[in-house]
A = this chain, B = another copy of it.
Amino acid sequence: MFVETEQIVQTLTEENYLKAIFKLTQASLQKISPTAIAQEIEVNAASVIDMFKKLKEKELISYDKRKGAALTPQGIRVALNIVRKHRLWEVFLFEKLKYSWDEVHEMAEQLEHIQNDALANRLDEFLGFPVFDPHGDPIPKANGSIPKFSKVLLSAKKIGDECQVVAIKDTSPEFLQYLNQLSIDIGSRIVIKDKVAFDNSLVILIKGHQTTVSEKFAHSVFVKQ
């Protein structure tokens, strides 16, 4: 008996929905509702519902009004592969083509959709099997596992603590450019000098220079432990 090797190629749009569902699944414990996805990919909720039907049909997600959407094992495989390619391409752009970390995301959004079975692995090998992308996010491995590392938000640290930046939560160009301005990179050491009770601003020391950052800032940076 001949068994069809299910290798249905997804459209770019489908891939973006799967990626968004994956992202929200990772990020929160909330249910993945049509409105949540609509907000994430800046699209109308009606469009999301249409796409949910299509993805359900293809057995890439399950969806139920009350439980929300969830990726099937098949859907997880597809999403992980996109995230893997995205992050590997980011490393390529940053390490090899010398783009700055605020430029790589947009291009990786395009590159992640390049279709070729061997591509992720070839790229991985060429780059020397990197574990993290330029924003400190872990790169899913070929077998689908995601390197684990303990990180907490900067906002969880106390006065007097010294900590090391390991990842950036908000990877918008605006925030990354702000970090550049403050000379903060992955690996930078930050000392919490003071906390403003009024608005939870932090007075921090970075490379001998003292500055004050907002609570929003402290919620956008991950540090070790």
Residues on A close to B: CB < 8 A?
A: 96-99, 103, 106-107, 110-111, 113-116, 118-119, 122-123, 126
Seed contacts A97-B123, A110-B115; 16 additional CB < 8 Å A-B pairs: A96-B126, A97-B119, A97-B122, A97-B126, A98-B122, A99-B118, A99-B122, A103-B116, A106-B116, A107-B114, A107-B116, A107-B119, A110-B113, A110-B114, A111-B111, A111-B114
Q: In the assembled complex, which residues on chain B have CB atoms less than 8 Å from the CB atom of A98?
A: 122
Which 4 pairs from chain A and chain B are nearest by CB? Answer: A97-B122, A110-B114, A107-B116, A97-B126
Please report the C-alpha to C-alpha distance between residue A106 and residue B119 in the assembled complex, in whole angstroms.
12
Complex CA distance for A116 and B99, rounded to whole angstroms: 11
Copy count, this protein chain = 2
Q: Which residue in chain B gives the minimum CB-CB distance to A89?
A: B114
Residues of B within 8 A of A103 (CB): 116
CB neighbours of A126 from chain B (8 A): 96-97
User: How close is A129's CB to chain B, nearest CB, in angstroms?
Assistant: 14
Q: Which residues of B contact A99 (CB under 8 A)?
A: 118, 122
CB of A107 to closest CB in B, whole Å:
5
A119 to B96, CA, bound (A): 12
Name the CB-closest residue of B to A93. B122
A119 / chain B contacts, CB cutoff of 8 Å: 97, 107
- A/B interface sample: 18 pairs, CB < 8 A: A96-B126, A97-B119, A97-B122, A97-B123, A97-B126, A98-B122, A99-B118, A99-B122, A103-B116, A106-B116, A107-B114, A107-B116, A107-B119, A110-B113, A110-B114, A110-B115, A111-B111, A111-B114
Return A72 CB to nearest CB of chain B, in Å.
Answer: 26
Chain B residues contacting A107 (CB-CB under 8 Å) are 114, 116, 119
Residues from chain B with a CB closer than 8 A to the CB of A123 are: 97
Q: How far is the CB of A68 from chain B (nearest CB, A)?
A: 33
Query: Complex formed: what's the CA distance from A103 to B118 in Å?
Result: 11
